[in-house]
Amino acid sequence: MSEHDSGLKPSKPAFWNDPKVRALFFQVLLIIGLGYFLMVIVDNTLANMRARGITTGFAFLDEPAGFGILQTLIPYTEADTYGRTFIVGLLNTLLVSGLGILFATIVGFIMGVARLSRNWLIAKLAALYIETFRNVPLLLQIFFWYFAVLGALPGVRQSLDLGFGIQFNNRGLYLPEPIPESGFNIVLWLVLIGFVVSRFVKRWARKRQDETGQPFPVFLTTIGLTFGLPLIVFLLMGAPLHWSYPELKGFNFKGGMTIIPELLSLLLALTIYTGTFIAETVRAGINSVSHGQTEAALALGLTRTQTMRLVIIPQALRVIIPPLTSQYLNLTKNSSLATAVGYPDLVAVFMGTTLNQTGQAVEITAMTMAVYLTISLTISFFMNWYNKRVALIER
- Residue number, 22 or 254, with CB nearest to other proteins: 22
Query: CB under 8 A: which stretch of 72-80, 102-110, 287-295, 330-338 binds other proteins?
Result: 330-338
Among 94, 125, 313, 317, binds other proteins (CB under 8 A): 125
Query: Could you tell me the end-to-end alpha-carbon distance of the chain, in angstroms, rounded to an integer?
Result: 30
Residue 271's nearest CA partner among 104, 36, 105 is 104
49 binds other proteins (CB under 8 A): yes
* Separation of alpha carbons 281 and 109, rounded Å: 9
- Residue number, 47 or 239, with CB nearest to other proteins: 47
Residues 25-56 as b/e (b if ≥16 CB within 10 A, e otherwise) read eeeeeeeeeeeeeeeeeeeeeeeebeeeebee
* Separation of alpha carbons 266 and 355, rounded Å: 23
For β-strands 172-175 and 160-163, DSSP reports them as unpaired
- Residue number, 244 or 380, with CB nearest to other proteins: 380
Query: CB under 8 A: which stretch of 82-90, 116-124, 204-212, 282-290 binds other proteins?
Result: 116-124
* Separation of alpha carbons 159 and 167, rounded Å: 6
298 binds other proteins (CB under 8 A): no
Q: What minimum distance in Å lies between the beta carbon of 174 and other proteins?
A: 24
Q: Are 142 and 96 in contact (CB under 8 A)?
A: no
- Residue number, 92 or 222, with CB nearest to other proteins: 92
291 binds other proteins (CB under 8 A): no
Angle at 178 between CA 173 and CA 179, to 5 degrees: 130
Angle at 90 between CA 89 and CA 95, to 5 degrees: 95
Q: Are 319 and 285 in contact (CB under 8 A)?
A: yes
Q: Is 14 exposed, middle or buried (0-12, 13-18, 19+ CB in 10 A)?
A: exposed
String marking each residue 140-179 x if it binds other proteins according to CB under 8 A: x--xx--xx--xx---------------------------
Q: Which helix (H) or strand (E) holds 75?
A: none
62 binds other proteins (CB under 8 A): no
Residue 316's nearest CA partner among 277, 281, 276, 273 is 281
Q: Residues in contact with other proteins, total (CB under 8 A)?
A: 53
288 binds other proteins (CB under 8 A): no
Among 102, 106, 296, 369, binds other proteins (CB under 8 A): 369
Q: What minimum distance in Å lies between the beta carbon of 25 and other proteins?
A: 10
Among 94, 136, 260, 312, binds other proteins (CB under 8 A): 136
Among 51, 79, 391, 393, binds other proteins (CB under 8 A): 51
- Residue number, 310 or 377, with CB nearest to other proteins: 377
216 binds other proteins (CB under 8 A): no
| CA dist 309 → 142, 210, 285, 322, 388 (Å) | 37, 18, 14, 20, 21
222 binds other proteins (CB under 8 A): no
Strands (E), the chain: 160-163, 166-169, 172-175, 177-180, 241-244, 247-249, 252-254, 257-259
39 binds other proteins (CB under 8 A): no
| CA dist 310 → 29, 251, 301, 360 (Å) | 55, 56, 12, 55
Among 69, 101, 107, 337, binds other proteins (CB under 8 A): 337
Q: What minimum distance in Å lies between the beta carbon of 185 and other proteins?
A: 39
| Residues of this chain that bind other proteins (CB under 8 A) | 23, 26-27, 30-31, 34, 41, 44-45, 47-49, 51, 117-122, 125, 131-132, 134-140, 143-144, 147-148, 151-152, 333-334, 336-337, 339-340, 347, 351, 355, 361-362, 365, 368-369, 372-373, 376-377
